Amino acid sequence: MWAFSIAVDGANKSGMDFLDVRVRFVYKATLYNLHLVAIPFHVQHTGLNMFEHLSKVLDVLCPDWKHRLIGVTTDGASNMTGKNIGLVTRIQNVVLEDSDFYRVWCGAHQLDLVVKKAVNNLYDSSFVTTLDNLVGHLRAHKILRVDTGGLCPRVVDTRWISMKTTLRWIVHCEQTVLLHLRETPGSPLPPK
């Protein structure tokens, strides 16, 4: 009997919400980790809504998925892992009772939380607020996009590696950014 696990993540790309699903399985001693589908989402990312959408897709792609699914990896958000109504709990409740089921909290998301806590401990609370204000300002000025060769990346709260990308962009474009801030009335000048 073959089995598989899935990794599920709710996301938003270009203003479109979706549920991203990856499938993981072993075939001939090789572990495969493949993108399965991005399910468009036009309702709230509740555990029930995600379960209903995901179940419909799995019912079509693998009608006996409830007998083959051995685990789910998620980001640890309450709508994913909630004790009573989370997506993973709902999935676990419908898979075969006599099989082992693994709930995995993504290591990358756990690391993101550690880095977020470290940043908050290292800097006062105004650091992230000031950075967010600066990034919002820089992203709003189209002329600055031309001068720097691109759009300032956002800091994504659940992907703290994005802070590195954002800060690296600001440092790389430092002279242009500082000139722009000095010449733009009402710009969020960083503290000296």
Predicted confidence at residue 120, as pLDDT, reads 75
Residue 53 CA, chain-centre distance (Å), reads 19
pLDDT tens readout for residues 122-144:
777 678 788 888 888 888 876 67
Predicted confidence at residue 5, as pLDDT, reads 92
pTM above threshold 0.85: no
Predicted confidence at residue 73, as pLDDT, reads 87
Residue range 4-105 in CATH 3.30.420: yes
CA 91/CA 73 separation, integer angstroms: 12
Token pair recorded at residue 68: 């083959």
Q: Which conformational region is residue 96 in: left (phi greater than 0), alpha (psi within -120 to 50 degrees), or beta?
A: beta
Q: Enumerate residue ranges in the chain where pLDDT < 50.
A: none
CA 54/CA 43 separation, integer angstroms: 13
Location of each CATH 3.30.420 domain in the chain: 4-105
For the sheet containing 30-40, what is the strand order?
30-40, 16-27, 4-13, 69-74, 102-105
Predicted confidence at residue 1, as pLDDT, reads 54
Predicted confidence at residue 143, as pLDDT, reads 65
pLDDT tens readout for residues 172-185:
888 888 888 888 87
Predicted confidence at residue 147, as pLDDT, reads 72
Predicted confidence at residue 159, as pLDDT, reads 66
